[in-house]
Amino acid sequence: MQDFTKLPSTVREFDFFVDGKWIDRGSRGQSERLSPGHDVPVTRTVRCTKEDLDHAVAVARRAFNAKTWSTVSGAERAAVLLRAATGIRDKLDELAYWETLETGKAISQCRGEIEAAAGHYEYAAGVARTLSGEAFNNLGDKMFGLVTRQPIGVIGLITPWNFPFIILAERIPYMLAAGCTIVAKPAEVTSASTLMMAEILTESGLPDGVFNVVPGSGSEVGQAMIEHVDIDVLSFTGSIDVGRRVLLASASNFKKLSLELGGKNPQIVYADANLEDAADGVAFGLCFNAGQCCVSGSRLIVEKTVAREFEKLLIEKLSRVRTGDVLDPETQLGAIVTDEHQAKILGYVQTGLNEGAVLSCGGKSLEAHAGRFVEPTLLTNVRNDMVVAREEIFGPVLAMIEFETIDEAIGIANDNIFGLSASIWTSDIDKAVETMRRVQAGRTWVNTTISGGPELPIGGFKQSGNGRETGVYGVEEYTEVKSIHIELGKRNHWVS
């Protein structure tokens, strides 16, 4: 039995999961994962091939057509989803442990995400039972109209490394509630929890072939998935560059897309805000998941009259963010996913300084721990046209820009290709609502940041993506709408 407070004594190996069972690796390649927080090997997963993907898609299609899931009642689907939520909670320690080792997240954050994931399965179980259409009884005596929803079909699901389990939970139960079948390709470096979820679903009574996992590289399995002509919907979460490829590849069969891409999300701090609360929220929004988060608050847009005071409060908060071994429940700051990504983040800090930004705190890697970590970093004197204000850095690096009027604040917030999320800090309700209405973002927060849960939908404006996940919308997204006109009584003949 693994002691979840210590590093594993052996590397855990995973086969892959198709048609309700583990499939042996055979002669396929493997990918080994080093824990970002410790730099020791922790897992090995299979590198599946394009043929494996074709097989999994055929299995998912067969399962869809077999009607073992696509036409069963909402009550039956709900029962499976509720058992899956229990299955997740039963395995919380194990899931959190391996997720921490593969992602570098702090274990306390991981545990929170896994608890939250169980909540998504419970919520989607409710939607499975309440999903309904519309009836039109106002079309006159001779006509009756209905609008129904039915599952679209087979879904290809591609997920990133930054939130392997919670992003999965924001997708799978909603897709399953709709009655679809799924083939998932997790990021190669973080496949373990997706494979573990496949087993939990099967143990919860999900029929064979409804959820399948084909781990492998983006360039082979991912690219083949986005081009596949027997996948009806592709749900992709990741970078804007791969998102663009997904859009182009969807022309192969005009598959429906659900895209969640990047963000360069504003934290707008008005002078009348409770500045201590705002500093705490901005520190959390920056450091959560070490800034490797599509909704990280990475642009601080602060009113000029309080800029110096706010900077001081924020630096003080950032200096007290707890660092350490990511398996220690006290640790708050997680590790950076790969060496390459760490170099990219630190490169952005240098670019900012070259452009005239001032380093207010941080800016270096944290040398005190094994693995790779970046100090929470604040760049001031930033203009919104600088690279550090325009591009997604995906690390704990915050660019601070000052404003004088509400129009200026909103103008800066909206002057970006992304529109994923925005946070507004003020004690003036009029200002809060006006800013919330005018800001271009799919998720907005007032006097909080990165709050969420299954009830409210998530997704982005502009180049942050298409479609919405979670909430009732998250199930509807994976249904086709059908309209039905029923003529009653004797037909009034056209050919008389």
108 binds ligand NAP per the rule CB under 6 A: no
Q: 486-493: long-range contacts (C-beta < 8 A, 24 or more apart)?
A: 486/143, 486/144, 486/145, 486/146, 487/142, 487/143, 488/141, 488/142, 488/143, 488/144, 489/141, 489/142
Choose between 291 and 363: whose C-beta lies nearer to ligand NAP. 291
CB nearer ligand NAP, residue 151 or residue 442: 442
- Interface with ligand NAP, residue 245, by CB under 6 A: yes
287 has catalytic annotation: no
Which 275-294 positions form the footprint of ligand NAP (CB under 6 A)? 294
Instruction: Note whether 108 and 329 are within 8 A (CB).
Output: yes
99 or 325: whose CB is closer to ligand NAP?
99
Cα separations (Å) of 360 from 86, 308, 315, 374, 425? 46, 11, 8, 15, 21
Please state, in angstroms and rounded to a whole number, the distance separating the CA atoms of residues 203 and 9. 28
239 binds ligand NAP (CB under 6 A): yes
Asked if 398 interacts with ligand NAP (CB under 6 A), we say: no
Contact 185, 238 (CB under 8 A): no
Nearer to ligand NAP, 218 or 419 (CB): 218
Q: Does 421 bind ligand NAP (CB under 6 A)?
A: no
Q: Is 188 in the site for ligand NAP (CB under 6 A)?
A: yes
Contact 14, 195 (CB under 8 A): yes
Question: Which listed residue (262, 281, 419, 474) binds ligand NAP by CB under 6 A?
Answer: 262
First-to-final CA distance of the chain = 82
Is 294 a catalytic site residue?
Answer: yes
260 binds ligand NAP (CB under 6 A): yes
Q: Which of 99, 294, 375, 392 is catalytic?
A: 294
Do 101 and 36 meet the contact criterion of CB atoms below 8 Å apart? no
Contact status: 375 vs ligand NAP (CB under 6 A)? no
Are 57 and 39 a contacting pair, CB within 8 Å?
A: no
| DSSP string of 103-117, one letter each residue | H---HHHHHHHHHHH
Q: What is the distance between the alpha carbons of residues 432 and 429, in angstroms, rounded to a whole number? A: 5
Q: Which of 161, 174, 270, 348 binds ligand NAP (CB under 6 A)?
A: 161
Instruction: Determine which residue in the list 151, 238, 396, 459 makes contact with ligand NAP, applying CB under 6 A.
Output: 238
Quote the CA–CA distance of 340 and 248 in Å, as a whole number.
27
Q: CB-wise, 218 or 471, nearer to ligand NAP?
A: 218
Least gap, CB of 397 to ligand NAP (angstroms): 12
Both tokens of 24, joined, read 């042996």
- The residue at minimum Cβ distance from ligand NAP is 218
Part in contact with ligand NAP (CB under 6 A); list of ranges 93-101, 115-123, 155-163, 474-482 = 155-163
Which sequence positions are flagged as catalytic? 260, 294
Task: Catalog residues that contact ligand NAP under the rule CB under 6 A.
Answer: 158-162, 185, 187-188, 217-219, 222-223, 226, 237-239, 242, 245, 260-262, 294, 392, 394
